[in-house]
Chain A
Amino acid sequence: MKITEKKKDNSKVLIEVEGEMTIYSARDLLTGMYKYLDKIKNTEVDLSKVTKIDTSGFQLLSMAKKEVESKEKTFKIINPSNDVKKIFKLYGEAF
């Protein structure tokens, strides 16, 4: 699991998550998210390189969305990989 910052300006940040978003990487993923949730900007998350996601990964995304939106900023997921699409479809969530 790897989080990379792709782009950043004063109002917006684009993050890419790579690898697994599963219970095995959940702790690291959460820690990796801290700094973006400290100073919240409009956020885009690229999930095209996510190889695997489970409910804990879904939960982290839900949490992030909740946090970002509570600060009146936008949270958007772009390029979900097939696995991501699948869980979104199952849980009726599109972000």
Chain B
Amino acid sequence: MAEKYDFNEAINVFFIESREMLEDMENALLDLEKDISDSESVSAIFRAVHTIKGSAGMFGFNDVGDFAHILENLLDKIRSSEIETTPDMVNLLLECNDHIIKLLDYFDANREEEINPELNSVSQSLLNKLNSYLPAGAGERKKEQAKNASDLDSGDMQVINECWHISLRFRKSIFKNGMDPQSFISYLSQMGKIVKIKAVTDAIPPAKEMNAEECYLGFEISFMAYTTKEKIEEVFEFIQDDCIIRILPPKSDLNEYVALIDNLPEETMYIGEILTEVGSLTKKELSEALKLQEGLKKDSKKRIGEIVVDEHMVHKPIIEAAVNKQSNIKKTEDKIKKTMRVDTSKLDKLINLVGELVISASNMERLIHESGNSGMANAFLQMSRLIDSIRESSMNVRMVEIGESFKRFERVVRDISREKGKQVDLVFHGGETELDKTIIEKVTDPLMHLVRNAADHGIELPEIRAAKGKPEKGIVKLNAYNEAGNIVIEINDDGAGLDRQKIINKAVERGLIKEEDLESVSNETIDELIFSSGFSTADTVTGISGRGVGMDVVRKNIESLRGSIIINSEEGKGTTIRIILPLTLAIIDGFLVKAGGLFCVLPLNSVVECSEFDNDEDVRLSETGNYIYLRDEIIPYVKMKDFFESNNETDSMGKIVVVRYADRKMAFLVDEAFGEFQTVIKPLGRIFNKIEWISGATIMAGGEIGLILDVSKLLGYLKIVETRNIS
């Protein structure tokens, strides 16, 4: 059971990491396209393909492995400058990149299945194209291996096997030391898959000479796992003094096996048989190894000695294999170690707990203040500082720079430019802006769609642009920044802008607006129409956009994140779309007020000012009571108590809190204002789902409920109420 689970986990990691590597590869390919002689990009691409090839093979996804192998061959030739890079080739490589993604998606969804014919035919046609760049025969994997295996001179002859090979020989004392190898082998089997294990019983003496309490056993194990040598060594850490262990990485140099065979106490032939039996060596490889061993013995005793010495250093990090291929794998493994994958549900739990901690700390603070114990208050002060740090760092764990996801849009823009014969530059700003990972993940697709739209529909063809007096090259700008406790992402293009006449025609045709209303419809309303479902103005359905699904889905996705989307277009000059998203879904820096006996939290960043409301020169009510004059400014005004329809009486005149969202301001009259208040958003039950302007609730130190208000939604809601009242 556990064995299966862990192996699956390893496969999951394989898929995740392969996809990441393909993303890197795509970026490197785009770099290469810009500078065709960029050897660094070629190396990066090669590394990615190589690693995918190796690990795909390790997990038995041979269709992926074989495909990557041919690709690797070509890249190897490019890397060694045997073949010159051409733009067409880069294009083909990009296609191959996409194809590997498709293959991975397929095998991720259908783990045990055969490749489907459709994908296979794509593989074949791409392989044919790849092979056309390669010198005859070089692309064929099997031939090459056969050639390798018979080529005795080759120093870096690798075995075909993709498993780790582990040799264990226990010392006699192991039982006496209270250890049973059983538990370690069974632990190993949880780390990966023991493909084949063979007990080595050669050293067991005849019954009469045997001491039943001593161990004479050994094992040869063929082990499949996506892991490192250190990890495997760790398994046997407890018995490292009681056993001799040798680990050969997958696809080791045949020389390593020669050294292994040579160094094991058993007869060469006996151990050789076992190695073939567990599948670490093929029969052919074994006979090559034996020949190699003979040859080495005759020619250079010293050399084999060196290898043996190396072999004795069992706990040295991975064997420094002669082949740079292996060192490449190691490099990526090192990179992987710097980051750790954590299940997001674990993080959510942590953040939830930190939230509870913050709440109970504020409760405690109140009690301590009431007790008047200054020693305790001091101690608590220190603790609350720590709690603050904990809160901040645990929130930080979830925060990711948005720039990472911007990068993948480059490919989209490039493809559109090529397909449509356009010239488009994609420019990023504020890529370092941090946003909750969940939000980033959910916002990437809508953003992708918008970027695609901007390049496909927004930017005009170079001729048209030239005729309009614009530079031939269009610019799509992506800009991210913080504003009022929100993250704003802007997608701006300097293209044609929305064609309002076309939108109107379409809207009338679809019955979205009535012809007689056309006169009174504002430009903003027209622009908003593109967010209606099933609305698309593209004359022809292209492969890229214009399928009529899109903007409505984009808006829904954004709104599901408690965000909003605003479009701003100027004919002939371009379109700007602003997406406004909450920074995080969990904790809020708020401003605490009380109105009608209810605690409310306003997002601190939206609060512009707070002042006494005494109806004097500076702050006074308008004649109608709908506005206040704040110094020289006129601001819409709402009595929060009335808004909550509360009958709770207070004597004080109350305070005015002015909030701002985007360009709008609103003044609230509240009974009391307490100031800054940091709190955790607790989701409210489903009954409250429909009340948009409450984003959640929190528990106050005294146990009361505090409502957290969503200012953007609240202003929107008040506007609706207002218009309703007027009409």
Residues in A lying within 8 Å of B, measured CB to CB: 23, 26-27, 29-30, 33-34, 37, 54-56, 58-60, 62-67, 87, 90-93
Contact = CB atoms under 8 A, between A and B. Distances in A.
Given A30-B210, A62-B199, 10 more contacts: A23-B175, A29-B212, A30-B212, A33-B207, A34-B207, A54-B182, A55-B181, A66-B204, A67-B207, A92-B194
Contacts, number: 70
The majority secondary structure among interface residues of chain A is helix
Contact of B197 (A27, A66, A91): A91
A70 B675 CA distance: 90
Contact of A62 (B186, B197, B204, B213): B204
B484 interface: no
A66 B213 CA distance: 18
B182 A92 contact: no
B196 interface: yes
A63 B200 CA distance: 11
B219 A67 contact: no
28 contacts: A23-B175, A23-B213, A26-B175, A26-B213, A27-B212, A30-B210, A30-B212, A34-B207, A55-B181, A56-B180, A56-B213, A56-B215, A58-B199, A59-B201, A59-B204, A60-B212, A63-B201, A63-B204, A63-B210, A64-B207, A65-B201, A67-B207, A90-B182, A90-B189, A90-B197, A91-B185, A91-B219, A92-B198
Given A23-B213, A55-B180, A56-B215, A30 B207 contact: yes
A16 to B, nearest CB: 19
B196 A87 contact: no
A54 B206 contact: no
A67 B216 contact: no
B331 interface: no
B217 interface: yes
Contact of B206 (A27, A58, A62, A67): A67
Interface string B172-200: 00010000111001100100001011110
Contacts of A58: 199, 217
Contacts of B219: 91
Interface of B: 175, 180-182, 185-186, 189, 194, 196-199, 201, 204, 206-208, 210, 212-213, 215-217, 219
Contacts of A23: 175, 180, 213
Contacts of B217: 55, 58-59, 62
Contacts of B204: 59, 62-63, 66
A37 B207 contact: yes
Nearest to A62: B201
A77 B3 CA distance: 27
A33 B212 CA distance: 11
Most chain B beta carbons < 10 A, residue from A33, A56, A65, A93:
A56
Contacts of A67: 206-207
Contact of A66 (B201, B208, B215): B201
Contact of B175 (A30, A56, A64): A56
A92 B216 CA distance: 17
B197 to A, nearest CB: 4
A91 B199 contact: yes
A63 B182 contact: no
A63 B186 CA distance: 22
A92 B213 contact: no
B180 A54 contact: yes
Nearest to B216: A59
Contact of A90 (B186, B201, B208, B210): B186
A59 B210 CA distance: 11
CB-based closest 8 A-B pairs:
A26-B212, A92-B197, A30-B212, A62-B201, A63-B204, A37-B207, A27-B212, A23-B175
A82 to B, nearest CB: 15
A67 B198 CA distance: 18
A37 B208 CA distance: 9
Contacts of B201: 59, 62-63, 65-66
B279 to A, nearest CB: 11
Given A37-B207, A66-B204, A91-B197, A55 B212 contact: no
A89 B210 CA distance: 25
B185 A56 contact: no
Nearest to A34: B207
A92 B180 contact: no
A2 B580 CA distance: 79
A92 B207 contact: no
A72 B213 CA distance: 27
Nearest to A31: B212
Contacts of A66: 201, 204
Nearest to A92: B197
A87 B189 CA distance: 13
Contacts of B185: 90-91
A59 to B, nearest CB: 5
Nearest to B194: A92
Contacts of A59: 201, 204, 212, 215-217
Contacts of B175: 23, 26, 55-56
B445 to A, nearest CB: 47
Most chain A beta carbons < 10 A, residue from B185, B197, B201, B208:
B201
Contacts of A60: 212
B320 to A, nearest CB: 31
Contacts of A27: 212-213
A81 to B, nearest CB: 16
A49 to B, nearest CB: 20
A60 B216 CA distance: 10
A30 B209 CA distance: 11
